[in-house]
Amino acid sequence: MKECWDEQELEGAILREMQGFLLELGAGFSFVARQKRIQIDDDDFHLDLLFYNRRLRRLVAVELKIGDFKPAYKGQMELYLRWLDRYEREEGEEAPLGIILCTGKKAGQIELLELDRSGIHVAEYLTSLPSREVLKQRLQAATERARQRMEFTAAEIDR
């Protein structure tokens, strides 16, 4: 993508690469809608992307943001998730999840906002490839998180 772009261009690029994007999300994802219109009290809102995950049996809302995470994104996503839960959730499905994709995460803000309790997750996307050293650090951190999750899961199973 060119140096200066907006959310619509980002969304268009994702849709052009939908198959690859769905594979990146993981197994079981199906595309539901782009710019899903949500009308509340005569106000129109538009959820960037809406997916359904067959394995999780729930809708997954994705909001694309340019720049770093902002606390206001939580309120926006909570509104969307509650609307989806009330008007789109089918019998037997789990509550919808939200993913906010932005270029930077603010770990302290995300922790204090307790986004996981709201079913909201924040993920970063890259607009350019980071240096080899940064990639190495991120891979090591991801490996450590995965190891800790596996140990936690094993401990839970042993109980």
The architecture (CATH level 2) of 7-128 comes to 3-Layer(aba) Sandwich (3.40)
Q: What are the structure tokens assigned to 147, written together?
A: 């190891």
Residues paired with residue 43 on neighbouring β-strands, in sequence order: 40
Specify the pLDDT at position 1: 47
Q: Are strands 29-40 and 97-102 parallel, antiparallel or unpaired?
A: unpaired
Nearest to 78 by CA among 121, 125, 34: 121
In terms of phi and psi (left: phi > 0; alpha: psi -120 to 50; beta: otherwise), the region of 10 is alpha
Q: Where are the domains of the chain?
A: 7-128, 130-159
Blockwise average pLDDT, block size 10, the chain, 159 residues? 66 71 73 93 95 92 91 95 96 95 85 87 70 76 76 68
